[in-house]
């Protein structure tokens, strides 16, 4: 595999604190301000799309998305399509949900959609493995951790700021890799 160097990735992973991480207070974390300002382009975590579709996106998040260029990851596309797959076809709201997800995906401009490369995927797998071990994640949380790590490292590699409502898991990632750029928000209502 030409794009992935195992030994380099293992050397990169030496930031392992070998202890469980504690969730920091909100005051110590970078949250979207009530009056967002222009800044770097953003990469959206899947929860941004879901919270927006469900009317739970706070006004500050919507205002931020109005003034910053938004970029998308194939990881978010994958997670949204997984949602389409797990929806019960017999449920009365399924068709509406699928239409909404279709609209979101079709609105993504192709030049703003990015796929992770082999090196990024390898490092994200190493990082998520460390995170799962340190935090004692169960089997259900491991795949989510892998996807989160891909998004986190992808944003960093692209020079973007990741926007997410997943405060707990991305706080841990920022503790492991403080150079990452994340903006958090809390869901409305």
Q: Residue 176: is its pLDDT beyond 70?
A: yes
What percent of the chain is predicted at pLDDT more than 90?
83
Strand runs (DSSP E) across 5-122, as ranges? 42-44, 70-73, 113-114
Q: What is the phi-psi region of residue 115: left when phi exceeds 0, alpha when psi lies from -120 to 50, beta otherwise? A: beta
Q: Is the dihedral of CA 103, 108, 110, 116 positive or negative?
A: negative
The pLDDT of residue 54 = 93
Judged by average pLDDT, the poorest of 64-68, 121-125, 137-141 is: 137-141
Q: How many domains does the chain have?
A: 1
- Residue 77 makes CB contacts below 8 A (sequence gap 6+) with 105, 108, 113
Q: What domain range includes position 56? A: 7-15+27-184
pTM for the full predicted model: 0.92
pLDDT tens column, 63-90: 999 999 999 999 999 999 999 999 999 9
Which residue's structure tokens are 């596309």? Answer: 77
- Residue 104's domain is classified under what CATH number? 3.40.50.1010
Phi, then psi, of 157 in degrees rounded to 5: -65, -35
């Amino acid at each position: 595999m030409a794009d992935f160097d195992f030994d380099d990735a293992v050397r990169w992973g030496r930031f392992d604190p070998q202890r469980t991480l504690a969730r920091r207070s909100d005051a110590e974390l970078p949250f979207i301000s009530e009056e967002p300002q222009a800044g770097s382009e953003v990469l959206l975590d899947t929860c941004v799309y879901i919270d927006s579709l469900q009317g739970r996106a706070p006004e500050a998040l919507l205002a931020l998305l109005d003034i910053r260029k938004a970029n998308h990851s194939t990881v978010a596309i994958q997670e949204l399509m997984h949602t389409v797959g797990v929806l019960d076809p017999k449920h009365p709201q399924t068709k509406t949900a699928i239409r909404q997800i279709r609209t979101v995906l079709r609105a993504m401009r192709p030049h703003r959609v990015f796929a992770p490369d082999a090196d990024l995927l390898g490092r994200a797998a190493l990082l998520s493995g460390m995170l799962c071990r340190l935090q004692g994640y169960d089997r259900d949380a491991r795949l989510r951790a892998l996807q989160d790590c891909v998004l986190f490292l992808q944003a960093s590699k692209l020079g973007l700021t990741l926007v997410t409502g997943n405060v707990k898991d991305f706080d841990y990632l920022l503790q492991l890799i403080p150079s990452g750029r994340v903006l958090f928000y809390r869901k409305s209502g």
